[in-house]
């Protein structure tokens, strides 16, 4: 079967029905993407070409763009081109050039899919897809890279044929088959000089490791291609078993997940279940041993991924999101009634009479206003901070107060303190300082209130916006 026929047959087997879709082709100008463009033209698909100029190879990059521009004109399809300052983006985000290029191009492709163009310009996002020219050899290389890096079973299935709106219709074909089809039609394409640079791991694997393996095992590519199919079936069975175990183990509390340690220790095989449990939260295979040790550790121990924290808390292993900390120092002036802290608002009111009964809500603090001076300083707590907890005559460091209060470690990091003249008057949401408590001699009461707000509410909280009733709340003392 010729490549053209195999291409259509493969797409038909996948049930994609691309004749009814609007397609965006990512075309670099290399052999694979040029062949994909010509195959789509022969198939009569409605498509446009998008080319990214990452400006990494100077005049060569510009020549690639000119080539793809001419290709789009020859095929009479819409053409999009964008230049990126990839080096600056890489430095700014502290990521590799390869990762930077991937993030930049896929973000742009997503934008293009939402714009009107082509014969099916009225197509919705549900009918618009991105096509890339990844082929079988790319998938084999991905299998080996993942194997050598120590990935899970899913990584051994190679490149997925579909990932959301990204379709890869050439994954059935090897590089040799694609090259033969292009030569038979006298097609021209661009050769990327960086593809021969073995400082990149994939290039070293492609140009040095695989050729050596072929000398030892002449059928290595065919064998690995068959392994991709076998691993896909194995992964389906594996996934079903793992998901069944995780469903029994995981408990969700909002955005926080927790697992009973004793129950987890009975899972078989433990390290595999632990890895699959932690993987969706950004933990790497190399952190599995650390997570295993966490199960035998005391309360308060934790390990961080890029996005989450796994924390030993009592009989639980908790996984909580790492939130960006607002470490700024805020000043609450007398002419301002509130200040925004992350997704909370701290507000104040002043009364001329003390309440008959103290409110039970820990998010509300009632203080004797006599010795409190504005501006109030609102900041994150830090090591060495101390105060006199309500009901105590002796000072206590906040670190010890948190331990005695059994406040989880991941919640301690979110605590704010309110200061007046370098004295902590309130550990927000937890306890006031005994030196500023309301007494029978109090003549003016300062109420501080900490309340959660959604991002959409932020605009309604300008300085001086809250109303003051002058009426103290009722309740009972803490």
Tens digits of per-residue pLDDT, 381-428?
988 999 999 999 899 999 999 999 988 877 888 899 999 988 999 999
Structural domain for 352, as ranges: 330-452
What is residue 455's predicted lDDT score, i.e. its pLDDT?
35
With contact defined as beta carbons under 8 Å apart, do 387 and 400 qualify? no
Domain boundary among 321, 348, 373: 321
Average pLDDT estimate for 96-121: 86
Q: How confident is the model at residue 19 (pLDDT cuts 50, 70, 90)?
A: very high
Cis check for the bond before 375: say yes or no (omega within 30 of 0). Answer: yes
pTM of the model: 0.63
Count the domains in the chain: 3
Q: Is the residue at 468 inside a domain?
A: no
Residues 283 and 191 in one domain: no
Closest C-alpha to 341, from 331, 355, 349, 351:
331
Separation CA 211–CA 232 (nearest Å): 25
Residues 128 and 262 in one domain: no
Residues 364 and 309 in one domain: no
**Binding site listing:** 28-33
**Binding site listing for ATP:** 28-33
Q: Is the residue at 283 inside a domain?
A: yes
| CA distance to 4, 125, 217, per residue, from 177 (Å) | 11, 33, 20
Instruction: Compute φ and ψ for 59, nearest 5 degrees.
Output: -65, -30
Q: Is the residue at 138 inside a domain?
A: yes
For residue 433, give the DSSP letter. B
Q: Does residue 29 carry a pLDDT above 80?
A: yes
Average pLDDT estimate for 367-373: 90
Residues 298 and 213 in one domain: no
Residues 218 and 270 in one domain: no
Residues 303 and 203 in one domain: no
What is residue 267's predicted lDDT score, i.e. its pLDDT?
93
- Give 436-476 pLDDT, tens digit per residue: 999 888 889 999 988 875 433 333 333 333 333 333 333 32
Q: Is the residue at 476 inside a domain?
A: no
What is residue 474's predicted lDDT score, i.e. its pLDDT?
33
Q: How confident is the model at residue 223 (pLDDT cuts 50, 70, 90)?
A: very high
Average pLDDT estimate for 236-240: 92
Residues 312 and 335 in one domain: no
Q: Does residue 26 carry a pLDDT above 60?
A: yes
Structure tokens at 140: 């084999």
Q: Is the residue at 245 inside a domain?
A: no
What is residue 180's predicted lDDT score, i.e. its pLDDT?
97
- Comparing 151 with 62, which gets the higher pLDDT? 62
Residues 21 and 96 in one domain: yes
Average pLDDT estimate for 363-372: 90
With contact defined as beta carbons under 8 Å apart, do 401 and 431 qualify? yes
Separation CA 403–CA 389 (nearest Å): 14
Q: Does residue 138 carry a pLDDT above 80?
A: yes
Q: Does residue 123 carry a pLDDT above 90?
A: no
Q: Is the residue at 465 inside a domain?
A: no
Question: Which distant-in-sequence residues (6+ apart) come within 8 Å of 392 by Cβ?
Answer: 434
Q: Does residue 299 carry a pLDDT above 50?
A: yes
Residue 35 bridge partners (DSSP):
none
Q: How confident is the model at residue 153 (pLDDT cuts 50, 70, 90)?
A: confident
């Amino acid at each position: 079967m010729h490549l053209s026929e195999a291409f259509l047959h493969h797409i038909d087997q996948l049930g994609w029905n691309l004749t009814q879709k609007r397609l965006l082709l990512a075309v670099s100008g290399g052999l694979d993407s040029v062949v994909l463009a010509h195959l789509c033209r022969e198939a009569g698909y409605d498509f446009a070409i998008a080319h990214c100029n990452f400006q990494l190879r100077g005049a060569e990059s510009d020549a690639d763009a000119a080539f793809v521009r001419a290709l789009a004109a020859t095929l009479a399809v819409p053409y999009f081109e964008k230049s990126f300052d990839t080096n600056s983006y890489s430095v700014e985000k502290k990521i590799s050039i390869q990762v930077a290029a991937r993030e930049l191009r896929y973000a742009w492709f997503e934008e293009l899919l939402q714009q009107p163009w082509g014969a099916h310009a009225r197509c919705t996002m549900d009918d618009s897809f991105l096509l890339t020219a990844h082929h079988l050899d790319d998938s084999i290389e991905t299998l080996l890279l993942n194997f050598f890096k120590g990935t899970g079973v899913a990584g051994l299935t190679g490149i997925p044929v579909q990932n959301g709106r990204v379709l890869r219709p050439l994954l059935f074909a090897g590089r040799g088959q694609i090259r033969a089809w292009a030569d038979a039609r006298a097609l021209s394409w661009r050769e990327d000089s960086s593809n021969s640079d073995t400082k990149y791991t994939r290039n070293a694997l492609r140009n040095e490791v695989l050729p050596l393996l072929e000398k030892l095992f002449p059928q290595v590519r065919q064998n690995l291609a068959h392994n991709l199919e076998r691993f896909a079936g194995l992964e389906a069975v594996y996934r079903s078993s793992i998901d069944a175990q995780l469903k029994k183990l995981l408990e969700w509390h909002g955005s926080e997940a927790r697992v009973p340690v004793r129950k987890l220790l009975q899972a078989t095989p433990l390290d595999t279940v632990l890895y699959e449990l932690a993987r969706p939260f950004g933990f790497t295979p190399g952190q599995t041993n650390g997570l295993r040790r966490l199960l035998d550790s005391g309360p308060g121990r934790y390990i961080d991924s890029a996005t989450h924290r796994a924390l030993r808390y009592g009989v639980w292993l908790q996984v909580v999101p790492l939130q960006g900390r607002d470490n700024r120092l805020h000043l609450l002036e007398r002419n301002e009634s509130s200040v925004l802290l992350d997704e909370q608002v701290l507000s104040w009111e002043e009364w001329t009479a003390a309440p008959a009964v103290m409110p039970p809500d820990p998010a509300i603090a009632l203080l004797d206003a006599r010795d409190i001076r504005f501006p109030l300083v609102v900041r994150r707590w830090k090591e060495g901070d101390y105060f006199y907890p309500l009901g105590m005559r002796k000072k206590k460091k906040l670190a010890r107060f948190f331990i005695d209060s059994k406040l989880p470690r991941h919640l301690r990091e979110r605590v704010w303190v309110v200061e007046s003249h370098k004295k902590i008057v309130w550990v927000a949401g937890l306890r006031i300082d005994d030196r500023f408590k309301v007494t029978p001699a109090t003549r003016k009461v300062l109420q501080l209130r900490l309340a959660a707000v959604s991002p959409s509410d932020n605009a309604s909280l300008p300085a001086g916006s809250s109303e003051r009733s002058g009426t103290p709340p009722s309740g009972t003392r803490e």
